Structure 1
Amino acid sequence: MLIDTILRKRYKIVEQLASGGFGDTYLAQDLDLPSKPKCVVKHLRPKNFKPEVLAIARRLFESEAEVLYRLSKFSNQIPKLFAHFEENGEFYLVQEFVDGHDLAAEIIPGYRWSEGKVVQLLQQILEVLSVVHQQNIIHRDLKPQNLMRRLEDGKIVLIDFGAVKEIKGLAANSQGQVISTIAIGSNGYMPNEQASSRPKLCSDIYAVGVIAIQTLTGKLPKDFQEDPSNGEIIWRNEVNVSNKLADVITKMVRYNFSQRYQTANEALQALSSISPALSKSTTSSWKLPSRRKVLVATGVGAGILVMLVSAFFILLRTKTTENFTQLPCDRDLSLLSLPPLPDQPDKKFENGINFYGSFDQNNKLSGKGILLFKDGSRYDGEFKNDKRNGCGRFSFPIQTSSHQYYIGQYVNDQRNGLGRLRWKNGDEYRGNFKNGKCNGYGVFQFVNGSFKSGVWEKGYLLKDKNISCN
């Protein structure tokens, strides 16, 4: 679909967000509303346009659209469905735009999460999944890419319910029967009964358990080991966690579905028994603590008040920096000290940039390397498809920039993911980035030891627009 296409004289396509085997996803504007708010358009195309296939696709589309309409009424952590329609045998969903990042930006291969952080993530996912299961609905495609961390409040939002994708796999066999030619789900996160087209509510629980093992081991599901005798995932010997948490996760990923927790609420109750303190709201690490916590002490004597406020700020600092004491790319210590440049570059660009490193079979920048720019700035890190992708360090020009360096994740030449940005005066931001800007939860620490933390958007702290990390 072309950019600037207007669907139904209302939804203007702005850019393509994703393209896959099931269809394309676009960012659009709703021209009917005064502010022209953003929305997401999903374009679903059956691969077979026979009348009998289209009839089944149409019925499935209507049924699943009704499910999405219904679910969003029960939770604001499920995107609202604004419209659904068919044009020329192709199907469209118009949904609420969720500003944030998916959990693939947080769950980094090779980086292990702490037990407490994993418990919090599990609870956040299961809380919203329990709303879905209470409606007797199976998500069918839970994975980090379909779990969004909303920028506004740090809550988990479920996207891309798998059932709608079945439209793409409809086909007619030699007897004229309409069948689904694909198993809905993603390899590694899909249990055996779902791969056999018999998904159950507890199939979602399996996927959540796999995500937990992924965060604890730092491994991708494809790298998990399985016991050949019973199909169980082998993982407990690789991590150092309490037996209580290990037992809960093990039950979540049992090969035999009857041995798992049957619903998200069952798993949530088991998780709450590990630590009652964690059974309360778990989004606190993504939000600035309420001022009310300080004001509670208003009636206390002055000396006690000072002690309470001091203790509060010590606790606050501990909480806000906990998730970022070691960022994923910090593990590569070679990024912390710059190696000397080789005598000759491996490639010279017309704009004066020199590249030192390796290439793939298509002669594109790949693997680890160095870029030296004309202004004296320098990038040391990982490349893929001719662009900076992976972990890297960018050193800013000495004479013309107030920044010293950035160490963190890159996607398509932009700072995207987790990283740290340091200024020459010693100030430092640690947290999430999007398209080169501080975006998401982060901590800005000043050289004098004070700090500001919370949710950032396009380089500015949402609760204090005077604070910028640009």
Structure 2
Amino acid sequence: MFIDTVLRKRYRILGSLGGGAFGDTYLAEDLDLPNNPKCVVKQLRCKTFEPEVLIIAKRLFESEAKVLYRLGNLSNQIPKLFAHFEENDEFYLVQEFVEGHNLTAEIIPGSQWSEGQVIKLLQEILQVLTVVHQQNIIHRDLKPQNLMRRRDDGKIVMIDFGAVKEIKGLATNIEGEVTSTIVIGSNGYMPNEQANSKLKLCSDIYAVGVIGIQALTGKLPRNFQEDPTSGEIIWRNQVNVSDRLANVLSKMVLYNFSRRYQTASEALQALSSISPPLSKPTTLWKLPFRRKLLVAAGVGAGIFVMLVLALFILLPIRTSEKFNKVTCDAELASLYSSKFINRKPDKTYRDRKYYGTLDKNNPSGKGTMIFQDNSRYDGEFKNGKRHGCGKFLSPPDTSSSEYSYEYYIGNFVNDNFDGLGKIKWKDGGEYTGQFRNGKCEGKGTFKLADGTSRSGVWKKGNLLDSNISCNR
């Protein structure tokens, strides 16, 4: 679908958010509402246009739209459905736009999470999934890509429910019956019964457990080992984790679905039971007078030491890390490209042009900057500099020696790559992880053009204890 296409005389397409086997997803704006708020348009196509297939597709589409509408009204951590319609034998969903990043920006291969972090993540996911399971609905495609971290409040938002994707696979068999020719789900996150089209609520529990093991081990599910006899995932010997959490995770991913937690609420209750109880504080006024003085003195000394540490140690760390906890995803890639077609720039420089919002005549907020060499930045600005989430594209001329990379998408601080991000080089290599002052620094993964990868801690562009460099 072309940029600036208007659907239903209301939803104008601004850019692509991605595509796949089941359809395409676009960022759009609602022309009927004040300030033209952003929304997401999902385009679904049938595999065939046979009349009997289209009848079933329409029925399924209506049914799943009702489900999405109901779920969006039950929880603010599930995108609201604004509209659903059919045009030219293609089906469209219009949903709430969630600004943030998906969990692939947090669960990085080679980076192992602590036990406390994993428990918190699992609880966040299961709290949303409980709402879904209470309606006897199965998500069918839970994975990091379908779990968003909303920027405004940091909460998990569950997107891309799998049932509606079934429309894509509808076709007629030899007997003329309309059936679905594809299995909904993602390899590694999909249990055996789901692969055999025998879905259960606990199929979602399996996927959540896999996400937890992925975060703990730093390994992608495709790299998990399985017991050849039982089919169980082998993972406990790879991490230092308490038996309490290990037992919960192992039960979530059991090969035999009847032995798993059957619903999200069951799994959530099991996780809650292993959270360490908070110790009750001793009440100061109940102590004898001398002990009051001693306790007060100790508390005062402790506070003083903590303040000194905060001033001389913790503050520099937090200043450098606060941007590392902010990232972007591909929603920014074409967000502003349609805004400057056939219009004058909002500000012109000698070597670049800017289209977007201004503050005291400086780029500030969201916008697009086109440089003299035709390189381009789409994203956030502050005081005239690239600052916040954005995507920088090198010039279309791939022979340019100044740029060895195709693009960088992630966080910027004062025109530098700084925070979480991803860079792709022209030779096919990719680095995903942390940056500082324009260089790979912190935890990250470098993927070579042949598909092999190395993960670890990087310093000034170099992987520690190796000869690998991401300074291309």
Q: TM-score range by the shorter chain?
A: 0.5 to 0.7
Contact 2:188 2:222 in 1 (8 A): yes
The alignment status of 1:49 with 2:49, answered yes or no, reads: yes
**Distance in 2 between residues matched to 1:312 and 1:193, nearest whole Å:** 55
Q: Contact between 1:253 and 1:260, CA under 8 Å: does it hold in 2?
A: yes
Offset of residue 420 of structure 1: 3.9
Q: Secondary structure at the match of 1:34?
A: coil
Aligned to 1:181: 181
Report the Cα offset of residue 418 of structure 1: 4.5
**Deviation of the 1:74 alpha carbon:** 1.1
**1:109 to partner: Cα distance:** 1.1
Provide the secondary structure at the position in 1 that maps to 2:92: strand
Amino acid at match of 1:410: K
In the other structure, the counterpart of 1:296 is: none
> In 1, distance between residues paired with 2:41 and 2:414?
41
CA distance in 2: counterparts of 1:244 and 1:323, whole angstroms: 34
Q: Does 1:419 align with 2:434?
A: yes
- Cα 1:313–1:73 change in 2 (3 A) is farther
Q: Which residue of 1 aligns with 2:151?
A: 151
Distance 1:275 1:322, change over 3 A: farther
Residue 422 (structure 2) aligns with: 410
**Alignment of structure 1 residues 69-468 onto 2, 5 Å:** 69-276=69-276, 387=406, 406=418, 409-412=421-424, 418-422=433-437
What is the match of residue 377 of structure 2? none
* Structure 1: distance between partners of 2:318 and 2:245: 24
The 5-angstrom pairing of residues 15-54 of structure 1 reads 15-54=15-54
Shift of 1:310: 7.6
Aligned-pair CA distance for 1:421: 2.7
Paired letter, 1:239:
V
TM-score scaled by structure 2?
A: 0.66
Return the alpha-carbon distance in structure 2 between the equivalents of residues 104 and 145 of structure 1: 6
RMSD: 3.9
CA distance in 1, matches of 2:233, 2:146: 22
Counterparts of 1:322 and 1:117 in 2: how far apart (Å)? 21
Instruction: State the 1:303 CA deviation.
Output: 11
Preserved CA contact (<8 Å) 1:132 1:139: yes
- 1:90 aligned partner, one-letter code: E
Pair 1:4–1:16, CA change in 2 (3 A)? same
Residue 249 to residue 314, structure 1, CA distance change in 2 (3 Å)? farther
- 2: CA distance, partners of 1:26 / 1:96: 12
User: Which residue number in structure 2 is paired with residue 12 of structure 1?
Assistant: 12
CA deviation after TM superposition for structure 1 residue 413, in Å: 6.7
Q: Is the 1:324–1:431 Cα contact (8 Å) retained in structure 2?
A: no
SS at structure 1 position matched to 2:274: coil
Could you say if the C-alpha distance between residues 36 and 390 of structure 1 is closer, same or farther in structure 2, counting changes exceeding 3 Å? closer
Distance 1:118 1:312 in 2: 30
Equivalent pairs, count: 348
Whether the 8 Å CA contact 1:106–1:417 is kept in 2: the answer is no
- Extract unaligned runs of 5+ from structure 2: 279-295, 326-372, 374-398, 445-472
Q: CA deviation at 1:72?
A: 1.0
Structure 1: give runs of 5+ residues left out of the alignment. 279-300, 329-350, 352-370, 380-385, 395-400, 424-428, 433-470
In 1, Cα distance between equivalents of 2:303 and 2:247: 38
**Cα offset, 1:85, TM superposition:** 0.3
Q: By how many angstroms is 1:387 displaced? A: 3.0
How many angstroms apart in 2 are the aligned matches of 1:216 and 1:171?
Answer: 41
2:98 and 2:30 mapped to 1: Cα distance? 15
* TM-score (norm. length: structure 1): 0.66
Whichever residue aligns with residue 118 of structure 2, its letter is V
Is the 1:82–1:95 contact (alpha carbons within 8 Å) kept by the matching residues of 2? yes
Matches of 1:14 and 1:132, distance apart in 2: 31
Question: Equivalents in 1 of 2:308, 2:257: separation in Å?
Answer: 46
Q: Is the 8 A contact 1:409 1:418 kept in 2?
A: yes
Task: Give the C-alpha shift of residue 419 in structure 1.
Answer: 2.1
Residue by residue over 1:419-445, the C-alpha shift from the partner in whole angstroms, topping out at 9 and shown as x without a partner, is 24349xxxxx9999xxxxxxxxxxxxx
Distance 1:313 1:2, change over 3 A: farther
Partner of 2:291: none
Task: Assess, with a 3 A threshold, how the Cα gap between structure 1 residues 256 and 122 changes in structure 2: closer, same or farther.
Answer: same
CA separation of 1:247 and 1:30: change in aligned 2, threshold 3 A = same
Counterpart amino acid of residue 34 in structure 2: P
Distance across 1 between alignment mates of 2:117 and 2:155: 14
**How far apart in 1 are the matches of 2:423 and 2:160?**
22
Higher relative contact order (CA 8 A, sep 6+): 2
